Structure 1
């Protein structure tokens, strides 16, 4: 389905018109004009410019604004997807957020035990309109993290997209997508935390509960 005008508009979370977002994007894009080339540059800037950190989960809506995320050294998948989506809109590329529930077969025993499950709800990625189709792009894991844990880093692919690999470099099961949450023109933060409260009842009771979102 072709993009609606909403996929280009700034929102409170996706504040693509903010100076911080435009500055972040400009450092990468430079004088590029081709949307695919712009998208590629933004993809790697978010993937590797912001280190993946599963312990950055907060209940404060303000930290999920793209302009705030742009200044972060590290973050988790949902904020990184917010930033990529906002940066794309800032350069006239229709973009939206996508979410799915995944099973992380390589999650640590400590985290799996504390969560009570290896299901990670609302794994976030960006969806960009490139070459007349929606392309799903996950920027969650930076390349240094992937190399450390034996997982192939996701590479930008404007045709097939870039979602989490089902296996690691040793042939072990890695990410398994088990439920599509859908596509959203803005960040459904309330719905995300409603699910977190259901799936991780012992981990999301406080303002700064951190471990529930290792995805």
Structure 2
């Protein structure tokens, strides 16, 4: 489990703002803390898919804390960093999804209906790996009429399958598994495959 508690450049629990976030974590047991961390990240960082254009630096938990807006991978990175700071083992999950509520602006940018490298988090809570997705903040969900994903630390929280009016929202197409460290080469490979026109750079942070 030690690999899921390590501090590094992507899951950094030594950022100068981390202590102020940790003071907001509620609870005395790991489940309560894990749930508290989830909600802090979900609603404390606005979802902005266009920040992926910032390349490798945008993958890290530091990016969230410096910008207060990010897409799914850095938000997951922050949840992992905070979890590890609380001695809760945590790791990154990556999947390909199809978002039926994508905006015309985002469609024009990506030129692909598949959202590759959609991130989720697994926290090891009371002997079980539990999945959650902190990407979409409540304010955004209310705006597009999607029920925000809740998390209780027991059940997986992954699927925004339908909007509040019954329209299909998101489909998981392929799960690429979980990672103790940021798989930058794999992210590069998939982004080059799906979005070659963007010429994104997700090489390792120096």
TM-score by length of 2: 0.90
Structure 2 counterparts to residues 114-193 of structure 1, below 5 A: 114-193=109-188
Q: In structure 2, the residue corresponding to 1:71 is in which secondary structure?
A: helix
Aligned to 2:21: 25
Larger displacement relative to structure 2 (125-134 or 110-119)? 110-119
Q: In structure 2, the residue corresponding to 1:156 is in which secondary structure?
A: coil
Q: How many residues align?
A: 202
Q: Is the 8 A contact 1:85 1:97 kept in 2?
A: yes
Q: Is the 8 A contact 2:42 2:134 kept in 1?
A: yes
Q: Residues 24 and 81 of structure 1: is their aligned pair in 2 closer, same or farther, counting only changes over 3 Å?
A: farther
CA-CA distance at 1:19 after TM superposition = 4.1
CA-CA distance at 1:11 after TM superposition = 2.0
CA-CA distance at 1:21 after TM superposition = 5.7
What is the CA RMSD across the aligned residues, in angstroms? 2.0
Q: Is the 8 A contact 1:77 1:125 kept in 2?
A: yes
Q: Residues 121 and 170 of structure 1: is their aligned pair in 2 closer, same or farther, counting only changes over 3 Å?
A: same
Structure 2 counterparts to residues 59-74 of structure 1, below 5 A: 59-74=54-69
Q: Is the 8 A contact 2:55 2:200 kept in 1?
A: no
TM-score by length of 1: 0.86
Aligned to 2:5: 8
CA-CA distance at 1:113 after TM superposition = 4.4
Instruction: Please give the alpha-carbon distance, in whole angstroms, between the structure 2 residues aligned to 1:103 and 1:63.
Output: 22
Q: Structure 1 stretches of 5 or more lacking a match?
A: 209-215
Q: In structure 1, the residue corresponding to 2:24 is in which secondary structure?
A: helix
For residues 86-105 of structure 1, give each alpha carbon's deviation from its aligned partner in whole angstroms, at most 9, with x where no partner exists.
10000000100001100111
Aligned to 2:93: 98
Q: Structure 2 stretches of 5 or more lacking a match?
A: none
